[in-house]
């Protein structure tokens, strides 16, 4: 699905509480946040990766309420400066559940890494609107998104896997 | 502890009222508004005086102001700018977000609710109709002595006959769920979600995240105040009854369908606890009538459909951060009763409701935008709240039933928004501060 510049389809813009809602595409909802990191903080980001890995290991359903498919964290360089790209693909409409997502991000430690980005509001924990504004300002909407299994939710995928597992058990029982 | 002698009674108490009247006012000048307010403020009950006088009192007054109203009273621009953006814009400007489109659009509202000159509301509840008539005259006399304060419109409210408990024009028992707030002295009833942090509803106190931050200024104005969303919702009783008759063959089937739309039998008995048969005794027992959850008790919605009204507006243990989205509800019914056997008479009747919360955008607007009007709430795909969602006849309502679910298509709009506004409801000290100018 090709997406117009700016990220919205002008004729069918739906209004959320914090502005127009980025549309769902065959590749679900998602965001791509790109921001410059505070120089010298690369190692904080890598350490953060290990922290999140451990958090998920200790509590596998910690991110469940976000209804995620994938999250990707990337560091890259332009002209000697380091940038951070954070890309999420999920079924929850982030624009709609913004405060809940921010709360979850804080609880699970996902957002602490944002403190190492330039321009990130220092009072983000007590000022969700400022956090939301930062995210909206640094989101780069896709101009094209593709899904090999369009519009399928993570929940449906998990259900299918469960059915597959149950069917194979049934077949085993019939041996 | 809360400043119970400063918080307006409405935040923590429901008046034992059978009648009432809302008056919507406009101030021609700051001086005129302050003169009127100085005279009115003596009538306003705090939580404390309300509780102390409840046995004898016959009338309860609440005062609240729009953002334009605060400006009209002379609050300075720097202070006005510290109020949250959604309040500054007002409800009419947030129509798209709230789902107030089509017949619900502010262009069709009545009573001057979308008028920037709407400045204040006097929210009067009275024990009976007689007291209502007396107070109406008293308010009129007071206004006559306060030139420059004008009534834009009024709405009389009254309990709907014939039942002896609060119910709406569709026949549903209402005013069953009550929140208990830490420091209020109220004990939480089973199922109400425990003691909630006061800052979720009253400015100046800790909320679920911690100490208060970014409150509107000056503190004397915001402390012990709250925000209030007003909704005047017309109920199309004839259409509702026709719908039940069309989709239910027997009276029992119709009752069950009415219950499925709401999540409670019209008696008030919750479907989670009484899935197959109505249970009026359960409905009347406050220790039991709210004591349920969804995640374990009814995960697939065989009792309460996932899209039913009460499951949307309070998904309980199936929503993230539920305590960040709770709301205090107040209000009353207006318009004539339509007897059971009478055809639709075209008269306007409905609910004139108030939702009180510390953050309109996080609580009331979230409920409207997401819980009530998100077509894909709980992955339902093509549904909105069957009672108050924005319905245009193209959506459906699914009732999980074994072995296969029931799906009703082409759901009509049973309600229409006829007006609404955002108000700030100050504490008593703040009212006096505003009156003093
Ligand atoms: C015509 C309009 C409406 C009707 C007929 C209606 C009817 C009802 C009824 C019968 C109940 C169950 C009784 C109770 O829990 O006290 C209820 C609960 C509730 N309603 Fe509504 N309502 C209307 C509008 C609204 C609006 C505009 C909101 C908020 C935006 C709202 C939010 C709630 C909430 C939060 C509950 C409590 C749910 C719970 O805690 O389980 N309602 N409503």
Three-class secondary structure assignment of A15-81 = EECCEECCCCECCEEEEEEEEEECCCCHHHHHHHHHHHHHHHHHCCCCCHHHCEEEEEEEEEEECCE
Mean pLDDT to the nearest integer, B164-182 = 95
Q: What digits encode the pLDDT tens for the residues A8-47?
A: 888 888 888 988 888 889 999 999 999 999 999 999 999 9
Displacement of CA B142 from its chain's centroid (Å): 28
Runs of H (alpha helix) within B23-177: 30-40, 47-53, 67-72, 77-80, 85-89, 95-98, 129-144
pTM as predicted: 0.94
| Confidence band for A123, pLDDT divided at 50, 70 and 90 | confident
Query: Which residue among B213, B370, B376 sits closest to A127, beta carbon to beta carbon?
Result: B213
- Of B103, B153, B206, B18, the C-alpha closest to B412 is B103
> Is residue A91 predicted with pLDDT exceeding 90?
no
Q: What digits encode the pLDDT tens for the residues B12-38?
A: 999 999 999 999 999 999 999 999 999
> Is residue A126 predicted with pLDDT exceeding 80?
no
- Of B207, B232, B217, the C-alpha closest to B424 is B217
User: What pLDDT, on a 0 to 100 scale, did the predictor assign at position B338?
Assistant: 97
B266 C-alpha vs ligand 1 centroid, how far in Å? 13
A167 C-alpha vs ligand 1 centroid, how far in Å? 43
Nearest CA in chain B to A101: B320
> Is residue B334 predicted with pLDDT exceeding 80?
yes
> Is residue A94 predicted with pLDDT exceeding 80?
no
Mean pLDDT to the nearest integer, A85-110 = 83
Q: What ipTM was estimated for this complex?
A: 0.84
- Is any atom of ligand 1 closer than 6 Å to the C-beta of B98? no
User: What pLDDT, on a 0 to 100 scale, did the predictor assign at position A131?
Assistant: 85
Q: Around Cβ B56, how many Cβ atoms within 10 Å?
A: 7
Question: Residue A33 has which token pair?
Answer: 């946040």
Q: What digits encode the pLDDT tens for the residues B43-97?
A: 999 999 999 999 999 999 999 999 999 999 999 999 999 999 999 999 999 999 9
| Confidence band for B214, pLDDT divided at 50, 70 and 90 | confident
> Is residue A64 predicted with pLDDT exceeding 90?
no
Atom of ligand 1 nearest to the CA of B367: 30
Atom of ligand 1 nearest to the CA of B174: 13
Mean pLDDT to the nearest integer, B220-238 = 98
Query: Which residue among B86, B209, B369 sits closest to A16, beta carbon to beta carbon?
Result: B369
For ligand 1, pick from B270, B286, B290, B329 the residue to mutate: most ligand atoms within 8 Å of CB: B329
User: What pLDDT, on a 0 to 100 scale, did the predictor assign at position B198?
Assistant: 98
User: What pLDDT, on a 0 to 100 scale, did the predictor assign at position A122?
Assistant: 86
Q: Cβ–Cβ of A17/B213 closer than 8 Å?
A: no
Lowest mean pLDDT among A21-25, B249-253, B314-318, B380-384: A21-25
Chain B CB within 8 Å of residue A100 CB: yes
> Is residue B276 predicted with pLDDT exceeding 80?
yes
A73: left (phi over 0), alpha (psi -120 to 50) or beta: beta
User: What pLDDT, on a 0 to 100 scale, did the predictor assign at position A125?
Assistant: 76
Give the list of residues 6+ apart from residue B278 with CB closer than 8 angstroms, or none: B255, B259, B265, B266, B267, B269
Nearest CA in chain B to A153: B379
For ligand 1, pick from B267, B352, B353, B359 the residue to mutate: most ligand atoms within 8 Å of CB: B353
Q: What digits encode the pLDDT tens for the residues B192-203?
A: 999 999 999 999
B262 C-alpha vs ligand 1 centroid, how far in Å? 9
Q: Minimal Cα–Cα distance from A88 to chain B, Å? A: 19
**What is the rounded CA–CA span in Å between residue B280 and residue B270?**
10
**What is the rounded CA–CA span in Å between residue B188 and residue B121?**
30
Q: Do the beta carbons of residue B322 and residue B193 sit within 8 Å? A: yes
Percent residues over pLDDT 70 in chain B? 100
Nearest CA in chain A to B370: A96
> Is residue B431 predicted with pLDDT exceeding 90?
yes
Nearest CA in chain B to A98: B362
Q: Cβ–Cβ of B86/A123 closer than 8 Å?
A: no
For ligand 1, pick from B174, B270, B315, B319 the residue to mutate: most ligand atoms within 8 Å of CB: B174
> Is residue A66 predicted with pLDDT exceeding 90?
no
> Is residue A111 predicted with pLDDT exceeding 80?
no
Question: Residue A144 has which token pair?
Answer: 């094209």
Cis peptide before B403 (omega within 30 of 0): yes
B235 C-alpha vs ligand 1 centroid, how far in Å? 13
User: What pLDDT, on a 0 to 100 scale, did the predictor assign at position A100?
Assistant: 85
Q: What digits encode the pLDDT tens for the residues B354-399?
A: 999 999 999 999 999 999 999 989 989 899 999 999 999 999 999 9
Chain B CB within 8 Å of residue A103 CB: yes
> Is residue A154 predicted with pLDDT exceeding 90?
no
Chain B CB within 8 Å of residue A81 CB: no
Atom of ligand 1 nearest to the CA of B233: 1
B227 pairs with which residues across the strands?
A: B357, B424
Atom of ligand 1 nearest to the CA of B235: 1
Atom of ligand 1 nearest to the CA of B326: 35
**What is the rounded CA–CA span in Å between residue B39 and residue B277?**
53
A82 C-alpha vs ligand 1 centroid, how far in Å? 51
> Is residue B321 predicted with pLDDT exceeding 80?
yes
**What is the rounded CA–CA span in Å between residue B54 and residue B77?**
39
Report chain B residues touching chain A, CB-CB < 8 A: 86, 96-97, 209-210, 213-214, 320-321, 324, 361-362, 365-366, 369-370, 374, 376, 379
User: What pLDDT, on a 0 to 100 scale, did the predictor assign at position B271?
Assistant: 98
- For CA atoms A9, A5, A2, A98, the dihedral sign is negative
């Amino acid at each position: 699905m090709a997406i117009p510049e700016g990220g919205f389809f002008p004729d069918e813009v739906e209004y959320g509480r914090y502005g127009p809602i980025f549309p769902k595409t065959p590749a679900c909802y998602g965001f791509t946040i790109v921001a410059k990191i505070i120089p010298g903080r690369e190692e904080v980001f890598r350490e953060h990766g290990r922290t999140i890995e451990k958090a998920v290991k200790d509590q596998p359903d910690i991110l469940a309420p976000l209804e995620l498919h994938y999250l990707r964290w990337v560091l890259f360089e332009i002209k000697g400066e380091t940038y951070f790209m954070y890309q999420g693909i999920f079924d929850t409409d982030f624009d709609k559940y913004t405060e809940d997502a921010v709360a979850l991000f804080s609880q699970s430690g996902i957002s602490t890494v944002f403190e190492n980005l330039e321009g990130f509001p220092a009072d983000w924990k007590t000022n969700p609107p400022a956090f939301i504004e930062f995210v909206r300002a640094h989101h780069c909407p896709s101009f094209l998104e593709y899904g090999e299994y369009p519009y399928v939710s993570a929940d449906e995928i998990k259900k299918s896997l469960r059915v597959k597992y149950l069917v194979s058990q049934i077949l085993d029982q019939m041996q | 502890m809360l400043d119970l002698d400063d918080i307006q009674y409405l935040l923590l108490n429901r008046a034992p009222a059978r009648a009432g009247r809302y008056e919507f006012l406009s101030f021609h000048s700051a001086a005129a508004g302050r003169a009127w307010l100085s005279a009115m403020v003596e009538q306003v009950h705090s939580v404390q005086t309300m509780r102390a006088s409840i046995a004898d009192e016959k009338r309860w007054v609440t005062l609240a102001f729009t953002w334009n109203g605060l400006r009209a009273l002379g609050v300075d621009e720097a202070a006005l700018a510290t109020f949250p953006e959604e309040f500054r814009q007002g409800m009419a400007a947030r129509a798209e977000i709230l789902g107030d489109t089509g017949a619900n659009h502010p262009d069709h509202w009545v009573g001057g609710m979308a008028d920037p000159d709407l400045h204040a509301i006097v929210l009067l509840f009275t024990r009976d109709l007689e007291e209502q008539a007396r107070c109406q005259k008293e308010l009129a006399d007071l206004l006559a002595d306060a030139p420059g304060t004008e009534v834009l419109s009024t709405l009389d409210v009254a309990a709907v006959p014939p039942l002896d408990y609060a119910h709406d024009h569709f026949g549903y028992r209402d005013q069953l769920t009550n929140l208990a707030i830490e420091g209020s002295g109220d004990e939480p009833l089973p199922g109400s979600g425990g003691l909630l942090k006061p800052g979720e509803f009253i400015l100046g106190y800790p909320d679920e995240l911690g100490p208060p931050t970014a409150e509107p200024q000056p503190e004397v104005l915001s402390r012990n105040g709250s925000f209030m969303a007003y909704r005047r919702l017309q109920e199309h009783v004839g259409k509702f009854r026709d719908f039940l008759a069309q989709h239910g063959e027997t009276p029992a089937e119709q009752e069950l369908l009415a219950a499925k739309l709401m999540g409670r039998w019209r008696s008030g008995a919750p479907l989670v606890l009484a899935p197959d048969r109505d249970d009026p005794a359960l409905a009347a027992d406050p220790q039991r009538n709210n004591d349920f959850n969804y995640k374990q008790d009814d995960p697939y919605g065989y009792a309460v459909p996932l899209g039913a009204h009460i499951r949307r507006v309070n998904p309980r243990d199936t929503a993230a951060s539920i305590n960040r989205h709770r709301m205090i509800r107040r209000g009353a019914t207006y318009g004539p009763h339509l007897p059971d056997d009478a055809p639709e008479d075209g008269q306007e009747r409905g609910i004139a409701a108030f939702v009180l919360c510390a953050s309109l955008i996080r609580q009331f607007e979230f409920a409207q935008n997401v819980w009530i009007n998100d077509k894909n709430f709980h992955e339902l795909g093509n549904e909105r709240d069957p009672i108050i969602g924005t319905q245009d006849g193209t959506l459906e309502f699914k009732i999980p039933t074994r072995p296969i679910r029931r799906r009703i298509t082409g759901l009509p709009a049973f309600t229409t928004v006829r007006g609404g506004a955002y108000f700030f409801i100050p504490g008593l000290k703040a009212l006096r501060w505003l009156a003093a100018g």
